Amino acid sequence: MKAHRSLRRVDVLKYGPDQIAMMVASEFLRASERTQYASIANNCFERARELMGILETIPLTEDVAQELSPVYGRCTRDQLMIDDRMPLERVRKISLEVASAFEKASENIRKAGHA
């Protein structure tokens, strides 16, 4: 894992899908708080995207998968990475919305018994 140099995929999978979803949410929350520092926020986005890549390989209920599908579509590198063209408030808003979606997914995963 490039953005998580100290973690390997096997290490992350030990946490279970609900906790991985919360890890993703945490990275997006961290990014939302640091949008004025583009390199720090972009690093948070990279870490979140790596965790999302692991989460999408884990079988989830159809409801949770459908809930997260549009969120994954919003999390492309082009849509997340901060540059001079993107207003910081927009980045902050997207980050908070995505974090909220992953927090909700974590709750739903836990309820479905996939934790």
**In the Cβ-directed half-sphere of 46, how many Cα atoms lie within 13 Å?**
12
Question: What's the total number of domains in the chain?
Answer: 1
**Domain range for 48:** 9-112
Residue 20's pLDDT band (cuts 50, 70, 90): very high
- Which pLDDT belongs to residue 13? 87
Does residue 1 lie in a domain region?
A: no
Does residue 3 lie in a domain region?
A: no
Residue 22's pLDDT band (cuts 50, 70, 90): very high
Does 23 have pLDDT greater than 90? yes
Does residue 4 lie in a domain region?
A: no
Does residue 49 lie in a domain region?
A: yes
Q: pTM of the predicted model, to two decimals?
A: 0.87
Residue 87's pLDDT band (cuts 50, 70, 90): confident
Does residue 2 lie in a domain region?
A: no
